[in-house]
Structure 1
Amino acid sequence: MQTGQQTGHLKATLNAWHLWGLAVGLVISGEYFGWSYGWASAGTLGFLVTATVVAAMYTTFIFSFTELTTAIPNAGGPFAYASRAFGPVGGLIAGFATLIEFVFAPPAIAMAIGAYLQVQFPAASPKLMACGTYVVFMALNIVGVRTAATFELIVTVLAIFELLVFMGVVAPGFSVANFAAHGWAGQDSFSPLALSGMFAAIPFAIWFFLAIEGVAMAAEEAKDPRRTIPVAYIAGIVTLVLLAIGVMVFAGGVGDWRKLSNINDPLPQAMKTVVGENSGWLHMLVWIGLFGLVASFHGIILGYSRQMFALARAGFLPAWLAAIHPRFGTPHRAVLAGGVIGIAAIFSDELFSFGGQTLTANIVTMSVFGAIVMYIMSMLSLFALRKKEPGLARPFPAIGYPVFPAIALVLALLCLVAMVWYNLLLSLIFAGLMAAATVLFLVSGRERRAAARATALATEHAAHP
């Protein structure tokens, strides 16, 4: 690894436990908030169907995605796979879609952290607390990846424990009748309106699992990635599916779920219904529950910074974003750049509050647009590389190939079509961001050529020191 302000390679320090903690931690905030916005569109029963289909998409996707992450361990993740399969244009689409996903997810999580803290400190500003969260965890990410990943593992375990506590505490108040009441888009029985609501709720079902693919962006920093990454991914998706079903069912069955469908702190409010406002259980949920939000927030900062680093190292973004800190060996400028964008999004109420959706709901949907495009590009890359490079070493071939990758691809395409249909304005904004990335791509030819030469020289030097 080079030091100073030069670009180079990241140091491998993460073991399988770190990577499992990252896989679950990146996502686990999705169990604490965001998903309940789907109830507003689909109801509890309709959303359960949507979430089940999305869980199938993620399971087949992860069982396929591990082939790419182990065959091509690179901090760019999907950017690296699509570049190898389809050249610079493929890398452009996958890389910037991933960047949109990982840059827009943290401000939504930061706002949820602010909402959770406001339960304890009603006079405090959620936005200011969200900004303070950015400052703290950008600093932790800059200090070092092993420190960051160890912290991620600890808070992830605590967050899982807290979700289990939540389910145990509210279980006595659970009622199937409560969960099923008005469960089809506000109706007691299935109707065409319910089907429409199920499609509209897709982004919030995806939020349950969004960003698990971020482990791929830590591949350069993983010890023995061909062994540890598959273990982390498979154990991670199993953990998350079980938690998502449990949290959704128990929260929806303890009272009138409609009161939870447009807020950032559904679990504390659900628990209030069972234990009251002054219970120690409630305060414990708020404080320990913050670990779930922090785990995802912290992990996604790691993800966006590595994606930005990889894009800059390849010449798709300004080269100064690929600088590695001389002491900590982390892409500090990329960490800070993503934080500036996220903080700006927190204060963009007028820009992102439209279409009857809250600021948080729209930011979540924007992040999901990036994710879905990236999933599509990743599965296309898998099929293309099977044909283009049949001799590529694949330590962990896709399970169920070609059926599982095909299922993941078809379901991702279906999700994308539904999201565009129900979020036309946001899809146009997403397209505008991708168009801006294309313009940047066209004017950065010199940087890409320089980056390619630098990579070639580094490879030659490593082979013939």
Structure 2
Amino acid sequence: MSTPEGPALHRRLGTFDAVVIGLGSMIGAGIFVALAPAASAAGSGLLVGLAVAAVVAYCNATSSARLAARYPQSGGTYVYGRERLGAFWGHTAGWSFIVGKTASCAAMALTVGYYLRPEWARGIAVAAVVLLTAVNYAGIRKSAVLTRAIVAVVLAVLAGVAVTVFGFGDADPARLSFTSEITVGGVLQAAGLLFFAFAGYARIATLGEEVRDPARTIPRAIPVALAITLAVYTVVAVAVLSGLGSDALASATAPLADAVTAAGVPAMAPVVRVGAAVAALGSLLALILGVSRTTLAMARDRHLPAALAAVHPRFGSPHRAEVAVGVVVAAVAALVDVRQAIGFSSFAVLIYYAIANASAWTLGRRVVPGLGFAGCLLLAALLPSASVVAGVCVVLVGALAYRLRP
């Protein structure tokens, strides 16, 4: 196993903090954003899509945990692909992660803006990126403490949504039943879109150089974070779908706020909007962490400018990578559309996890990584065509950059 060149990051996180960072990455990234487009693709079949996305996520999480225990370095699948498959596949994984998660960061920043003040959405998004980049710059412990507070607030809001809809609304189980309009393709497309919500466990693996006893901590933290997230998503999705129905959910711009309003408790809607903004902030915080750590790992290997591999002598953070990622995300948030960002991000991250599963395949016990590899490629191919075309083009640009590098 190769070791990272340059200053090492500080190992400060235990299992609880690693789980919290994973939760902060997942809870909020999808439940406030991806339910509506998933319902548009699959109607009430989005619940099956959620299950499919969870199965693929479980395979990816299992593969990532095995690899992270063996290679406890920052960089995630960039490191695993490099060590198990060769430098080109590591580069492709790292490139896919950085561009895909940069789009995710922009989507989360814009979600903050649209929920708080739609007419100022882009300005608020840029301000959020600047603020959280400053938090991450000051070190991983401060980021973990803030993420813990954010997760607590978001879980309370989601619990409030479920209690309101089930306790006061007209939640009709018949709205969960399948109709003849549901297709396999629609369900799988919904799964690909909902996968966007589960990808946060990668943040735990990319922090492998900053957790204590990574061989033990990471394999514990990843499945725990994933299981908690799946349980929360299932309860909230059932509540919103049974309260609104698939047609209303598909057209909703703020589905959880609409659900509590339809339940006859409109006073909860502002609380839900604030909760959505806080959730998006939590996701954005952890996303920037993951992208900057992969940037650090690629810079160490000269796949990105070597100056980005610097570690702050006081804070122990990859400060130049943090600033560079923050600048790029702020620029993207000022220019892109949030739905386009979600589709493109899903494609790039599915390619990233396909490489993770291929890497885990080389370790033996191949059923789970084989299923994960096939699932990632299938879901990526069935995403909206614009997302697939844009994703293929960007991945090819990364491959060309690798071939042309000195």
Same fold (TM over 0.5): yes
Letter in 1 for 2:382: A
| CA distance in structure 1 between the aligned counterparts of 2:27 and 2:204, rounded to whole angstroms | 14
The aligned residue for residue 313 of structure 2 is 326
Q: Secondary structure at the match of 1:209?
A: helix
Counterpart position of 1:426 = 387
- The answer to which of 156-165 and 361-370 deviates more is 156-165
Any idea what the Cα deviations from partners look like across 1:240-268, whole Å, max 9, x if unmatched?
Answer: 11111111110112234433325553211
For residue 371 of structure 1, the aligned residue among 324, 330, 349 is: 349
Offset, 1:132: 1.1
Q: Give how far 1:178 is off.
A: 6.1
Asked whether the equivalents of residues 130 and 330 of structure 2 are also in contact (C-alpha less than 8 Å), the reply is no
Deviations 1:23-77 (A, max 9, x none): 1111111122223211111112x21111111111112322232110111111011
What is the match of residue 132 of structure 1? 127
1:303 aligns with 2:290: yes
Question: Aligned-pair distance for 1:288?
Answer: 3.5
- In structure 2, list runs of 5 or more residues that go unmatched: none
Residue 202 of structure 2 is aligned to residue 224 of structure 1: no
1:201 to 170, 190, 194: 190
**3-state SS, counterpart of residue 31 of structure 1:** coil
- 1:175-203: per-residue Cα shift (whole Å, max 9, x none)? 235634xx76xxxx224x63332233233
Partners of 2:217 and 2:282 in 1: CA distance:
20
Report the Cα distance in structure 2 between the residues aligned to 1:405 and 1:231, rounded to whole angstroms.
Answer: 18
TM-score (norm 1): 0.81
Partner of 2:147: 152
Paired residue for 1:268, among 246, 250, 257?
A: 257
Shift of 1:297: 0.9
Unpaired segments ≥5 residues, structure 1: 1-5, 350-358, 387-400, 446-465
Question: Which amino acid in the other structure matches residue 169 of structure 1?
Answer: T
The question of 1:292 aligning with 2:288 is answered no
Q: Secondary structure at the match of 2:199?
A: coil
Equivalenced residue count is 400
- Tell me by how many angstroms 1:80 deviates: 0.5
Pairing of 1:43-442 with structure 2 (within 5 A): 43-44=43-44, 46-118=45-117, 124-172=119-167, 173-177=169-173, 179-180=175-176, 189-191=179-181, 194-277=183-266, 279=267, 281-349=268-336, 359-386=337-364, 401-419=365-383, 422-423=384-385, 425-442=386-403
TM-score, normalised via structure 2 length:
0.92
CA contact (8 A) 1:114 1:126 kept: yes
CA distance in 2, matches of 1:138, 1:377: 28
Corresponding residue SS for 2:35: coil
Confirm or deny: 8 A CA contact 1:379 1:408 kept in the other structure: yes
User: Contact 2:49/2:191 (CA < 8 Å) preserved in 1?
Assistant: yes
Residue type at the aligned position of 2:142: T
Which string of whole-angstrom CA distances, capped at 9 and with x for unpartnered residues, describes residues 185-222 of structure 1? Answer: xxxx224x633322332332212212321211111000
2:3 maps to 1:42: no
One-letter amino acid of the counterpart of residue 360, structure 2? L
RMSD of aligned Cα (Å): 2.0
Q: 1:367 to 1:176 in 2, by over 3 A?
A: same
**Change over 3 Å in CA distance of 1:179–1:208 after alignment to 2:** farther
| TM superposition shift of 1:98 | 1.4
Determine the C-alpha separation between the residues in 1 that align with 2:211 and 2:170: 42
What is the Cα deviation at residue 287 of structure 1? 2.5
What does residue 394 of structure 1 align with?
Answer: none
Any conservation in 2 of the 1:35–1:208 contact (CA below 8 Å)?
Answer: no
Return the alpha-carbon distance in structure 1 between the equivalents of residues 8 and 379 of structure 2.
35
Distance of 2:241 and 2:8 partners within structure 1: 47
Shift of 1:385: 4.0
Residues in 2 aligned to 1:362 and 1:178: alpha-carbon distance in whole angstroms: 32
Q: Shift in Å at residue 426 of structure 1?
A: 2.7
CA distance in 1, matches of 2:170, 2:368: 36
Change in Cα spacing, 1:443 to 1:409, as seen in structure 2 (3 Å) is closer
Q: Distance in 2 between matches of 1:60 and 1:87?
A: 22
* Aligned partner letter, 2:122: K
